[in-house]
Each structure stands twice: as C-alpha cells, then as structure tokens.
Structure 1
Amino acid sequence: MKLTLRVKLLPTPEQASALEATLRACNEAANHVSAIAHTTGTKHNRALRAETYTHVKHNWGLGAQAAQHVIKKTCDAYTALTGSLKAGNLGRPGSQRHKAATGKPITFRRHAAQPYDDRMLSWQMEQRTVSIWTTRGRLKKLPFTGDDHRLRLLALHRQGESDLLTQNGQWYLLATIDVPEAPQNPDPHGFIGVDLGIANIATTSTGHRHSGRKLNRTRENDRNLRTRLQKKGTRSAKRRAKRHAGKEARRTRDINHKISKHIVAEAQRTGHGIALEDLGGIRERARLKKPQRVTINSWAFGQLADFIAYKARRAGVPVVHVNPAYTSQECSHCHHIDKRNRPRQAVFTCRSCGFVEHADLNASHVIGRRGWTTWVRGAESQVPALTVVV
C-alpha cells in the first residue's frame, strides 16, 4: 500500500534561498513548456521533450534530470486535465468552465512542488540529512526531522520520487513509501457501521459518538474570523487569514486521524469489518438548509473516510462502502422507511414499530447491516491505491 510521508527540512537561510530559487526556476520553465504544449498541441512526454529539452535546460540553468522532470510534470498536468474533461468535472463543452480550462495554457504557481528522483536527491537516514540538487549547486547535509515511527517507515519502505515544496515559509519533502498490508480478515464477525454527520462527526454502531459540538463552535468562530479578515482586505489581514487557514487544516487532519485510529482499532480488536457510506457526489445529492450546507461542506469527511480506509488496510480490517440513501430514515429494527421517522435532528422514532433511538446511532446500525449484506453478496469494497499524506 502506497502512502506519502511529509518530512520537514531544516535549511539555513542561505539554503532556503537556494531551494526557493530552484522552485522558481523549475516552475517558470514548466510554464514555458506548458505554453508550447498548448500552442502546438504536443502534450506527450517524448515529443514535448524533443521540442523543449535543450531550451529549458540552458535558459533556466537546470540539470538534465530536472529539465526532464519539468517536462514530465507539464505532461502529467495536461493528462490530468484531459481526464477531468472526459469525466465532466469541468462542465460540458462550450460552457464557461470548460472554455476557461481549455482556452489557455496550464500555469504553475511560483512555489508549486517539484519532483526529485534518486539522482537529484539522496537520503542519509542515520544522520537525518539529505543531499539535494539546486540551481545553485548541490546542498549537502541538509537536516530533516519527523516522527521516529514515520522515519523508520521511510528508511524501510521508501520508493520512487519525492516532491519538494514549501508552505508558509516551511520546507518539506513528500516521500512515497510502499508498506506491506496485513492479511485481510476473511471472516469478520459483522460490520461496524459509521455514520458521518454534523452534530456528531462520526457515530459507530457500537455506541461510540465522536461529538462535534465543541468543534462546531470552533469552526463557526473560524468562519467568522475568516469573513472579517476577507472584508478587511489589507495585506496584514491576508497574511493572518493564510496562517489561520493552515491552522484549521492541521486541526482537521489531527481530529480525523484520531477518529479513524479509534474506529479501526475497535474493529481490529473485535474482529469486525467497517461499513462506510459512499460519499461520492454527496454535495450534489444533499438537500440541506444554507447554514447546514456551510457546516457540512467545511468538514473533510472525504479525508476521514480515506484515513479509515488506509488504516484498515494496514490492519487487515475489511472495509465496504454502502448506498447512503435513506440511512437516516430507515428503522434499524423493522426497516420501515419514512421521513417522519426523524421528528428532530437527534431523535429517531419509527412510525411503524415504535422503536426509539438516537438518530445517528440508528443510522449507524442501518449502515452496518448494509455493510454485512454487501459483504455476503461478495461485493466487498476494493479500496484503491491511496496517496494519503500522513
């Protein structure tokens, strides 16, 4: 199973300046290559390399490997754009979104990530340093830091390229590792249903509720602060908003890691599988009031589902994805479906059999039962190769 580890670099100001100059040169070169690809229609790696390699290498002072990675990065971006257009993610042909996506070359931000292979980057794991190519020469003994467990995984299972990027003045390498998966449990005792929601971020059919009440107040304060800073619009307000956005994302990631770890550990301990709702297209399907739309769309439920999936794969816990339709309206006892079964947000009262339970807990039981049905029918979920940054 492939994962991406974020490793923090600790450069001196001079080294940081060299890294910044390198990213700037690589992305300026990528924008040049992108303009040629858009103008000529040449978007395959070999053909585009024949047209641009020499010019890119000499005009931006790039090494041979760096120039090839710049060209390949550009081709990969156009391949991703073609896939999005075919999938209809950018509207129909002739629409404004479609025209905006295809009417001009793809552009790369000044500090967009740049891939490095083993010829450009070498790791000294015992010394916790790297040797990395830059446009100002090779930087040797550049220190890095990270969690001991993750660094052990990096030393044992690192594969392929790593990406150099900067965020908020900090420098990172995103390294891909391929960790072995535990054998999947072929005979689970049942499935723990996980209901995702607003008042409770995650509710399991075993009775655990990960409350979102305190967190929702914090998120509302975050939104209010973000609104005030956007209205102010000064340079300092924009800087503060940027710092605060990073803090929000880190807090969300941390909470999702903790929730997913607890759910997977419980499933592994009890010999159960995990049943999740299929969240694909949930924002388009959901019919919610405006305040609810803001709340539910601002939480990374997809990230939480991905964290549960990859942790489950590492632990050998089977995961299934079920149809989310009517899970909040179906009775977990008699399976009667009626929107009147849920008179209030937290209350479920079956209009047929009179069963009463907390609404989120009832929904998690329904999801767990659907997960077992899916498993028995032999349609267990095959979680794709994930590229989760941990």
Structure 2
Amino acid sequence: MNEHLDQMPSGFFRLSKDYFILSTNKTLLNILSYNQAELVGKFVHTIFSNSSSAFFQLHFYPLITEKNRVEELYIELKSKSGKIIPVLLYANSLHNGEMLCNVVPITKRNQYIDQLLEAKKIAEKRLTEKNELNAQLKLTLKRLEEKQEELLKVNLENHQYKKETKKELELAKKIQETTLTKAFDNHHLQIDSHYKASSELSGDIYGFYQINEYQYGIILLDVMGHGISSALITMSLETLFQRLITKGVATDLVIQELDNHLHSYFDNNEEAWHYCTAIYLFVDTENQTIEYINAGHPPALYVETSGQLKELQSSTPPLGSFKGIEFRTTKFTYTQGARILLYTDGVSEPLEHGHLSDILKAYTADSLKTLKDKLMESLEREGEEYYKNDDQCFILMDLK
C-alpha cells in the first residue's frame, strides 16, 4: 500500500469486480481493529452491519454500474469487536472492474447534530415557560455556540482532507512526468519533445532510448481519453515498452506485446474498454534506415533538407481494438540532415490541415529548438479553443 494512502485521514480499500477486498490502508484497519491479513481476500460484507449489507447491495451496485462513482453514501461499518461505526462512503470504478473506496467516519458529526436538535427542542420548550425564559435562552444559546464551533472544526477537517487529496493528484502528476525521457543530442541524433497534460493527469506517453551505439527506439502513444483512468494505463504501458525497447526487441514484437497487454486488461470488462494509438520508430544510424509501425496514430512527418516530405501513415487499427492483428513493419532509408515530427491528435486537431507540414518545411534550415518554439507558438496562438482541452505532445528528431 502506498505510504501516502496509509497516512490519509480517511479509510481506503480496493475491491475486485466481485466485491472482494484486495487491499486497505492503515487508517481503515485502525478504524475496524483488523490487521491486513484478516481483511484482504474477504467479501466486502464482512465489514458491514447487517442492515448496511442490504442497503449496500440495493444502492451501491446501481450507482457504481451506471455512474462509475458513488458519493456520500451513508452506511454502517462493523469493527472486529462488533462495534457499529457510521461512515460516508465514496467510490470510483476503474476500467478493469476494480473499485476504489474511501470511508469517512461521521460518529462525531452525528453526535453534534443530535445535540443541536436537542438544544433546539429545549429552547422551544423554554420559550413557553415565562419564568425561566431568559435563563434557559442564555444556556441554550451558549450550547449552540459551542456546537457550532465544534461543527466548524469538523468542516475544517473536511477541508484539510480535500487539500490532501489534491496534493495526492499533484504528486501522481509529478511522478508521471518524471518517467518521460529527456532531450538528448549526440553525433547520430538530436531529439527534443513537448508535453502538456489537459488536466491533472495525461493519456499521452512517450519515450526515446539508445539501444546500442547505432540503434535507437522512439515511441509515442495516446490512450483514449485523459485523466486518472488513462494515466494509469499509460504508466503500465510505459513500464512495458521501456523494458522491451531497451532490450532491442524487434519492432513488430514491441507493438504486439503492447497490444496483448491492453487486451489482458479488458478481456472480461467490455464496458471499461480502452484503446491506444501508437507509433514506434526503430532507427539504425549505421545503415541509415528507419523501421516503423503506426497503429492508428496520426502520421509522423519526415522531411529532407530539400523540403521533400513523407508521411509515415497508419497501417493497422489502434492497440486494443481487435485480437489477432498482424503488425507489419515498414522500412526506408533516410538521408543525413532529415528531420521527423511525431505528434498526438491534441497537436494536429487544433491547427488547420497541412499546417504542421508547412511549419516543418519552412524551418528545415533552422535549429531544432527554433522549430520547437514555432510549433508551440502556433498551438498557443492559432489553435482552435475547442481543442485546447486535449493532451498535447510531440517529438522532434534530427537525423545527422
């Protein structure tokens, strides 16, 4: 369990699609007086009171199925000793069918509300008793003020919880960005990139790696959608393609393994299905060749110093679309001084058709940095506002 999740002020647990507990944080274990081994693998109703088990089945399942999320569902948990603990339940459904659940104990809040109601009744009753009216009103007002202060404290605790959750998302974004490979420049290649997520987390991922003295692998993927679900998929794909590429695995096998990996996620959960466009280039600088596969991705642009341009078009559907696809490579010889642009649809869609090609040809004699700055300037100034909420990512490469 992630250290940050263990330190969350609320209880956390992860459920399988069959409602078995897969993991918990320490906060939940402390609330229920269990240890990890006693809960993991158990049916979720183990931690519910009898009434809440029925309520959970009637209300939780329809909500998580239709909306993929549950907010402020009041239920009662049952501790190891049998103690009943009222909580508010929040949940999200992942695309593999698993569910992430948070529970916030509200025992104190219920006590405060009950006490406020009691104070109100006393105040109303004393209003009819003239002899004790003033004394009782003062006492009641004092009690109300005390309870309001206590409620304010609870609200501040809730606000702190929201701030900590936001910090967790920001940390996840930072971790995602640190996995991206950095620009490099040697006597064979110069590579630079641009990456801008549309929200906290992105569905775009890329990597470029030197395999040996003369061989390099460059990959760019775009998972359907953006946000937490897409980001989780990109992180798992990044771990896989980094291992395959750096080992020098053949181009078609790299793409095949990524396709198999996506299918393994969603074989038993079609509603959570995600696909992914991808383009992978295997560059051999000794023989001056490029071998590539484009799986449903926008065509990469290859331009020579003469201005002659070639599009590296898609030849197969996106990864995760259909099983049994045969991924075939395309190979060509490049000329020294040529330049390549790889990009996602978040870069091409905001601009007019042919705009990227025009920029690439217009700046063939300029430095890679100048070209990168021009592309970013075009996206900012000329891109249509409707498309600016999509993830943006591109890679520039000079073949020396």
Higher relative contact order (CA 8 A, sep 6+): 1
TM-score when scaled to structure 1? 0.27
TM-score when scaled to structure 2? 0.26
Structure having the larger proportion of residues in strand: 2
